[in-house]
Amino acid sequence: MGDTPWRPTDAPRLDGRVAVVTGANSGIGFQTARLLAHLGARTVLACRSPERGGRALERLLAEVPGADAGLAPLDLADLASVRAFADKPPADRIDLLVNNAGVMALPYRTTADGFEMQFGTNHLGHFALTGLLLPRLLASGAPRVVTVSSELHRVGRPRFGGAHRPDGDGPDRYGRWSAYARSKLANLLFSAELHRRAEHAGAPLLSAAAHPGMAATDLAAVGPSLEGRAGLGALLARGAGTIGHSDLGGALASVRAAVDPGVRGGAYVGPRGFFGLRGGPRFCGRSTAARDSGAAADLWSRSEKLTGVSYTWV
């Protein structure tokens, strides 16, 4: 696959293509959407908050004059919202789906459907969204799905629950960081299994994954803020920018995975400088657990049962 340096100036034009970016109201998601719009894609910002999404769209249009961009409501922590988005998609054909939205290290909470919030939002919401949008993706000549993971997937354990807790540990055994790592491992297993299933079906869909390293976003601040520790949240956000890189730097891995013609199905792209925390996007390895095809197939089956979404390839 090679590992040559890559810069945004290497990216091809995307005129005429339709891109959907989840969680595009701020941080890495916004920068990903901005860069795709700059390359000429018709870009849809899929956001939970209409207010924050609206401000992000205004900012994008100001920073990319002439951009073809729009806003659509999507709450990945609510499968009814995911289905509503898919029932009225932003276009008949979707060329590029960037599964970017996520939450990190929250105190124990559940989604609208009763799933642990991190696993439910980061993995199950995107699993359902991708499956429901699959007909729109397959209407493209060369669709691509990019799922954003994290290097913390390396400490994740493939324990995705059992009969009594099919989405992971309940509140009595919950660890916010272990739950986050598990959800990011699920992202990589899903991306790899999506690639395998597309190949088996003879579908042209390319599935790849990316990680941003450590970027200066407000993601790490949300958990402490929910517990009334906004000062700690602000400190964590500043520290991420000091040790890692900017939100734009973090978005480059997603953009390379989305547009680089050299990316192959199953690729994992992210910074490899300074222990993977910052630097230009390159092809990366993944943990042994993230390469477990049996765990990926089992997670897929569980995800179908939990979400009620099955993938139809024809």
Cα separation, 271 vs 115, in Å, equals 31
Torsion of CA 303, 90, 16, 2, to 10 degrees: -20
308's torsion region: left (phi>0), alpha (psi -120 to 50) or beta? left
Containing H/E element for 37?
A: helix 27-38
Query: From the centroid of its chain, how far is CA 128?
Result: 13
Closest CA to 76 of 27, 174, 147: 147
Is 180 a known active-site residue?
A: yes
Return the SS3 of 220: helix
Catalytically annotated residue among 108, 180, 268, 311: 180
| Two tokens, residue 21 | 């970016």
Cα 198 to Cα 18, 125, 207, 232, 314: the distances in Å are 20, 20, 8, 43, 11
Residues 63, 217: contact at Cβ < 8 Å? no
Catalytic residues: 180
